[in-house]
Structure 1
Amino acid sequence: MNDSSSRYRGSRALVIGGSIGGLTAALVLKDLGFEVDVYERTATPLHGRGSGIVLQPDTLRWFVERSDTDPTGLSTSTSWVQYLDRENRVVSRDERRWGYTSWGTFYRALLHDFGTEHYHLGAYACGFDDSGERATVRFADGSTETADLVVFADGINSPARERFDPDAVPSYSGYVGWRGTVPLRDLSPVTRRMMGDSITYSVAPNSHITLYPIPGEEGVDAEHQLMNYVWYRNVPKGPELTELLTGKNGFVGAVSLHPGQVQDRFVAEMRETAVATLAPAAAEVVLATEEPYLQVVLDVRSDRMALHRAALIGDAACSARPHAAAGTAKAAADAWALRDALLAADGDIPAALTAWEPGQLELSRQLLDRVMEMGDRSQFLNTWLPGDPSLRFGLYGPGVLYPEDRRPVVA
């Protein structure tokens, strides 16, 4: 532990939201000396339905700098970014290395480092007060918890966000993401060779799909890997969207529809459209998906992220469309920047939050503006062009993985 963190020994922090962003925040605060408890609204252990995560440096930073866990055991990687046309021909190919993990793999590794003793499931935080010296969180079961610092990392539907910015409510982008995973071993040898070492794009009118290999539940070796994808398709807001999001159980998903819940007729239409519009290799992956699921692509950004002793981070503060592959990276960056501000403030938590907020608000604004433009180019303007460097992944800009003050020195 850094000696300069001694001012926080004996201080208590609450983290509301036990997903990847919340666990990252909990770990860096614990590393500073805080006594940390995490409260997750879900009553059962979390899982990510196999979703893939592109690993940017902020996301991986805990395992690189502070953990005993070997980060190479959490990820797969590829060497190329490529675009395929309707005949499976490579129309653009850049040598650009990226790493990936699965949501579940990464979550379990973070939780292993934090431990389960202070990780509380089934705890729905419904309100909070900040008296100046301490902050108090109220839970739906009637209990309360008081701490020196509260970090809200409770996702795009954060109940706390209204206290920070009442006008920050999610708005629908005009399209959804069809998602799924398929074991690489279930794909044809041609498709495995074509896509096994690449991020692969297939662009269609008003649409595109992105595919890359991620770890499976059994490990990161090739025989266990899954091909992960997200396919963006336009759906008008209103009854058509509501019908699509009505699950087999009769409930309408607000932000997603889980595997096995998408109505069969919509899955059948999606598969037919894949064959008609996507590169054959991409269509093969879609057709092989047993239970595809849906993610609603939404935009929201709070104009406040700090309230005296309370901080708002990750998707709770800014939910950015996935096109820059920066959602988990932004949550982690918020947590690491908060750590740095707390170190600099030498025990003055309100001063730390005041210093931390402007930079993270600006990062949120820049990221959201960029991914909204990217999405519009793909889904409505048809100007998403294969190989365009402005479309590259990166939290801090197209292809930019570090802020200015942390960029690696290249000899």
Structure 2
Amino acid sequence: MPKSVIIVGGSIAGLLHGVYLKRHGTDVTILEQDPHAIRSSHNAGICFGPSVQEFLRLYDDTGSQSCQPGVVIRLAYRQNLYWRETGIVRHLTSWGVLYRILRANFDGLPSEAVAAPPAARPGDGVCKYLSGKKVMSVHKTLDGVVVGFLGECGEEGSSAADLVIGADGLHSSIRTLVNAPMVKEYSGYVSWRGTVYESDVSPETARYFQDRAVLSFLKRTYIVCYIIPLDTGSFSPGTRLINWVWYCNLPDIPENNLTELLTDSNGHTHTNTVPSGLVRSEVWQAHLAHMLPLIPGPFAELFAKTDRPFVTMVNDALCSKATFLDGRVLLVGDALATFRPHFALATEQAARHCLGLGKVWRGEMALQQWEKEAVDHATEVWLRSRVMGVGLLRGWVEFLLLAWKYVVFLFARFKTGVWPRY
């Protein structure tokens, strides 16, 4: 195990790795660019699977409920609200609840979700979560790595450790600083997102979404809805939020100028996301006027009752390498590979990276083997998420071309035993 680690990025991926390292006696410093002591969740929903479940079973000492399992996934097709149902179970929660549980375990942050953070375990490392730190440099020394950063007021600082983990997402500064080989692309479509209180919709709509993740497939657009807790950690029926994500082709909506769409109510143009509360009302209302007549009842009610949506460009990124500076710098989570979110695997990937690195630090796996498995898995999911997104949103020609590329990729893997690189 490394004795000291700097993690760049204080979101879910960074906290998963931070808690793991802390539990194994490593001193950990997280450098987070966001200046707020507690990051805003925007009431975003997330799904996770077995890797996150296993992580929480081993390392979460809060005793807090982290998720609610969706009994089934319901599929709607155009106006047929009960087209199909699957037996797939998804563990559904809010970003804010999982973030607060991990912060309580990492640095003892109290919150409404975890009012009494757990005491440290015997042998835990010393942990610090430093907000408002923008990383500017990283370089290897004879016995470790030094990270240079700027504080909120522009003051310069630096910190040294045995290892640096880049967990700073799609727009990773660490990935840029180490010149990681990567491909990064805007998909051509956006996701609108929002939430509505369960108690604010009709009883019929509330029942339709209860205990289910629901996908509604329409012409060149689709919607995902599921119920999530508030950031306070309340899972009680009637107190929760119905979270929705609506994927739309940019050319199919009136505000088809990307700059226009990303310009907020204050006139500021964002690079990727216009946050909740800053989307211009006329943009949202124009979108609804154009699309709402096509939307079946329960979904239309959600959109009509959402007054603070936010909109995000759907991007993806893939690195073909995860280790740098002779293994002193690692990329994990979305910093290594950002998937188009159709399979909701970002959180699961981060936990998978963390548990895999545990095998490296226990001597059960070489770092090079971890890197290969992480990049191989990322490449496969990256391609698969592209195929799904294009198939649902972009039309047959683009779908068939990408599906063929995916088949060739799988055939090459089957024939040679080696994952092709992109």
Global fold match (TM > 0.5):
yes
One-letter identity of the residue aligned with 2:293: A
1:274: Cα distance to partner? 4.3
Q: Look up the equivalent residue of 1:323 and give its one-letter code.
A: H
Q: Distance in 1 between matches of 2:217 and 2:79?
A: 12
Within-5 A mapping of 1:12-411: 12-44=4-36, 45-70=38-63, 73-115=65-107, 118-140=128-150, 141-168=155-182, 170-218=184-232, 219-236=234-251, 240-307=257-324, 308=326, 309-344=328-363, 352-381=366-395
Identity of aligned residues (%): 28
Amino acid at match of 2:60: S
Q: Structure 2 unaligned runs (5+)?
A: 110-126, 398-402, 404-409, 411-422
Q: 1: distance between equivalents of 2:94 and 2:239?
A: 12
Query: Can you give the 5+ residue segments of structure 1 that lack an aligned partner in the other structure?
Result: 1-6, 346-350, 384-389, 391-396, 398-411
CA offset at residue 76 of structure 1? 2.1
Residue 257 of structure 2 aligns to a residue in which SS?
helix
For 1:342 and 1:132, locate their aligned partners in 2 and report how far apart those are by CA, in whole Å: 21
Over residues 102-135 of structure 1, what are the superposed CA-to-partner deviations in whole Å (9 max), with x where a residue is unaligned?
0111101100000156110011111100135211
Give CA deviations for 1:161-217 in whole Å, capped at 9, x if unaligned: 124445525311000000001111111111111121211111111110010111123
Query: CA 1:38/1:370 → structure 2, altered by over 3 Å: closer, same or farther?
Result: same
> What is the alpha-carbon distance in structure 2 between the residues aligned to residue 344 and residue 51 of structure 1?
37
Change (3 A) 1:284 1:274: farther
The worse-fitting range, judged by mean Cα deviation, of 187-196 and 78-87 is: 78-87
- Structure 1 segments (4+ residues) deviating >3 Å: 85-89, 163-167, 236-239
Does the 8 Å contact 1:165/1:302 carry over to 2?
no
Q: Aligned to 1:65, what secondary structure does the other structure show?
A: helix
Q: Deviations over 1:277-312 (max 9, x none)?
A: 222111111111120101210011111110121101
Letter of the aligned partner of 1:250 in structure 2? G
- Tell me if the contact between 1:32 and 1:339 (Cα under 8 Å) persists in the aligned partners: no
Indicate conservation of the 8 Å contact 2:180/2:321, yes or no. Answer: no
AA at the equivalent of 1:381: G
CA distance in 2, matches of 1:363, 1:96: 21
1:135–1:148 CA contact under 8 A, matched in 2 = yes
Which residue identity is paired with 2:192? W
Q: What's the RMSD between the two structures over aligned residues?
A: 2.4
Structure 2: distance between partners of 1:43 and 1:89:
43
Matched residues in 2 for 1:217 and 1:304: separation?
A: 35
How many angstroms does 1:88 deviate by? 4.9
Q: What is the CA–CA distance in structure 1 between the aligned matches of 2:260 and 2:183, rounded to whole Å?
A: 22
Aligned match of 1:394: none
What TM-score comes out, normalization by structure 1 length?
0.85
**Paired position in structure 1 for 2:419:** none
Q: 1:348 maps to what in 2?
A: none
Aligned-pair distance for 1:17? 0.5
Question: Per the alignment, in what secondary structure is the counterpart of residue 344 of structure 1?
Answer: coil
Equivalent residue letter for 1:99: H
Q: State whether residues 169 and 334 of structure 2, in contact with CA within 8 Å, keep that contact through their aligned partners in structure 1.
A: yes
Distance 1:224 1:303 in 2: 44
